[in-house]
């Protein structure tokens, strides 16, 4: 095993959380190694080229006005995302419904007489009065209305944002997200595909460290309850990099496998085994010569079988598709999303939804990819409301990413937040005598 250059910190995995953490560490003055098993940055929010189209694997909507954007400002990385206007709309009975500034009130007011009671719950949530964490969003909503369209919209919001069904998401997490978090009100698409964001952060890491692709971490060495080194496979050799600060973006389960169960406290192992609930979704990327929909941002559907939302990417970022093509991504969430499901049958139901929503769908579109995100490569490594701590019980070893989110948060914003919380704690500890 080769000896290697020295770093103050090693970040395992160049997903959203890993890139944000590594860029923050490097910016804070720690010489940082960001090491990624695959040959591309971005993990589940990367971008691939298919038939000349930039196709996003996962995240498309990157939020303004939060820790995510602040990370780029802090480390001096470009984030040239473009906001569609309106960013959000609904697609009900094949019509775009833009509720604009009227928001929830305007939407629900047109659908149910119980709108005021539901809105009152949002108002109470804003003051911190939230339902018990065991009550599902569906059961909570059923206490106020039986209206099928309202239930369909709430289901599809749960699906679009949290990658789960309304009966799988705690109402507490739903209300926390919509009253205290970003709630995807202001977001943009990246003209280079989402990978453009991670390339910019990798550039920030390289100002005070290195980024290694195609370099899987094989082992995290722990002794006397503290992280000591990581062993990395690179160019056919195993390299041992001493490190007392190790941030893992691989998810808690893979992190335990890398360090070995014996290194962790029993309670942490129990939580990794029992608490994590990976959430699944099904992603259709496609393109058409004629525009399919007028809305330039993301539309959430009403009554569907599995389809939940769709983004019109070329309306704001025409450069992601070859000239003359309109490019879209549609998402569906299986039933169940937090347990086992028949991927083929669930995909077929979602495909049927697309045909219903867009007559002539099969003739009009070129399908670029259909992907089921689940298990160890899921939509969310743990559904909102079922997160693990960022601390692992091992000194110097932390987790970032979407299994260790703050309560009720989701997506890349939540991953960026995990990175900030961990790096702030590391920097504060180093500052102590």
Ligand X SMILES: Cc1cc2nc3c(=O)[nH]c(=O)nc-3n(C[C@H](O)[C@H](O)[C@H](O)COP(=O)(O)OP(=O)(O)OC[C@H]3O[C@@H](n4cnc5c(N)ncnc54)[C@H](O)[C@@H]3O)c2cc1C
- The residues of the shown chain that bind ligand X, judged by CB under 6 A, are 12-18, 35-38, 43-45, 58-61, 216-217, 249-250, 254, 258, 281, 283, 331, 373, 379-381, 401-402, 411-413, 415
Nearer to ligand X, 188 or 396 (CB): 188
Distance in Å, CB of 227 to ligand X, minimum: 14
87/66 Cα distance (integer angstroms)? 16
Closest to 218 in 3D by CA, of 235, 232, 236, 203 = 232
Closest to 154 in 3D by CA, of 293, 301, 282 = 301
Nearer to ligand X, 153 or 279 (CB): 279
Q: Find out whether the peptide bond into 336 is cis, omega within 30 degrees of 0.
A: yes
Nearer to ligand X, 68 or 140 (CB): 68
Nearer to ligand X, 8 or 63 (CB): 63
Give me the residue label for tokens 């500052």.
Answer: 431
DSSP class of residue 380 equals B
Nearer to ligand X, 179 or 409 (CB): 409
Buried b (16+ CB within 10 A) or exposed e, 193-229: bbbbbbbbbbebbeebbbbbeebbbebbbbeeeebbb
383/177 Cα distance (integer angstroms)? 13
Distance in Å, CB of 425 to ligand X, minimum: 17
Measured between alpha carbons, how far is residue 264 from residues 24, 229, 245, 426 in Å?
26, 16, 16, 20
Nearer to ligand X, 45 or 108 (CB): 45
420/400 Cα distance (integer angstroms)? 9
Nearer to ligand X, 108 or 400 (CB): 400
Nearer to ligand X, 150 or 230 (CB): 230
Contact present, 269 and 276 (Cβ < 8 Å): no
206/411 Cα distance (integer angstroms)? 25
Distance in Å, CB of 324 to ligand X, minimum: 25
Among all residues, whose Cβ is closest to ligand X? 15
Nearer to ligand X, 141 or 158 (CB): 158
Distance in Å, CB of 283 to ligand X, minimum: 4
Sequence-separated (6 or more) residues with CB below 8 Å from residue 146: none
Distance in Å, CB of 302 to ligand X, minimum: 20
Nearer to ligand X, 231 or 269 (CB): 231
Distance in Å, CB of 44 to ligand X, minimum: 3
Distance in Å, CB of 45 to ligand X, minimum: 3
SS3 content of the chain, % helix, strand, coil (to 5): 35, 25, 40
First to last CA, the chain: 35
Q: Which pair of structure tokens corresponds to residue 296?
A: 């330039």
Closest to 69 in 3D by CA, of 433, 374, 373, 417 = 417
Query: Residue 34: in which H helix or E strand, if any?
Result: strand 32-35
List the alpha helices (DSSP H) in 212-342: 252-259, 266-274
| Cβ neighbours, 10 Å, residue 242 | 14
Distance in Å, CB of 355 to ligand X, minimum: 20
Distance in Å, CB of 161 to ligand X, minimum: 9
Distance in Å, CB of 5 to ligand X, minimum: 18
């Amino acid at each position: 095993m080769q000896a290697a250059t020295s770093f103050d910190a090693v970040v395992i995995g160049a997903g959203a959380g890993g890139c944000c953490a590594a860029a923050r560490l490097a910016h804070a003055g720690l010489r940082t190694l960001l090491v990624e098993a695959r040959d591309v940055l971005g993990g589940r929010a990367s971008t691939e080229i298919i038939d000349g189209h930039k196709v996003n694997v996962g995240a498309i909507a990157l939020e303004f006005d939060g820790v995510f954007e602040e990370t780029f400002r802090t480390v001096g990385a470009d984030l040239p995302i473009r906001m569609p206007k309106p960013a959000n709309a609904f697609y009900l009975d094949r019509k775009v419904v833009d509720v604009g500034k009227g928001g929830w009130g305007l939407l629900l007011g047109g659908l149910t007489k119980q709108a005021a009671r539901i809105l009152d719950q949002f108002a109470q949530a804003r003051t911190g009065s939230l339902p018990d964490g065991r009550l599902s969003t569906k059961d909570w909503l059923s206490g106020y209305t039986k209206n099928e369209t309202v239930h369909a919209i709430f289901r599809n919001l749960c699906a679009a944002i949290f990658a789960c069904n309304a009966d799988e998401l705690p109402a507490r997490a739903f209300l926390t997200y919509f009253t205290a978090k970003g709630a995807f009100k202001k977001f943009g698409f990246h003209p280079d595909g989402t990978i453009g964001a991670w390339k910019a952060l990798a550039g920030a890491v390289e100002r005070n460290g290195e980024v290694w692709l195609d370099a899987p971490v094989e082992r995290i060495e722990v002794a006397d309850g503290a992280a000591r080194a990581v062993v990395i496979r690179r160019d056919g050799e195993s390299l041992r990099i001493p490190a007392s600060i190790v941030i893992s973006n691989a998810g808690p389960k893979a992190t335990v496998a890398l360090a070995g169960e014996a290194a962790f406290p029993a309670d942490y192992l129990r939580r990794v085994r029992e608490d994590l609930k990976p959430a699944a979704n099904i992603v259709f990327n496609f393109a058409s010569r004629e525009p399919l929909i007028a809305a330039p941002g993301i539309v959430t559907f009403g009554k569907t079988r599995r389809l939940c939302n769709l983004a019109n990417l070329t309306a704001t970022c025409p450069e992601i598709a070859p000239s003359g093509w309109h490019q879209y991504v549609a998402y569906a969430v299986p039933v169940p999303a937090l347990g086992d499901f028949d991927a083929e049958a669930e995909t077929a139901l979602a495909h049927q939804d697309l045909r219903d929503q867009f007559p002539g769908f099969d003739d009009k579109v070129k399908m670029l990819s259909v992907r089921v995100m689940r298990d160890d490569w899921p939509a969310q490594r743990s559904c909102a409301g079922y997160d693990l701590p960022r601390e692992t019980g091992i000194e110097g070893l932390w987790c970032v990413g979407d299994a260790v989110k703050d309560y009720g948060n989701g997506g890349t914003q939540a991953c960026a937040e995990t990175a900030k919380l961990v790096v702030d704690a590391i920097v504060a500890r180093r500052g102590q005598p």
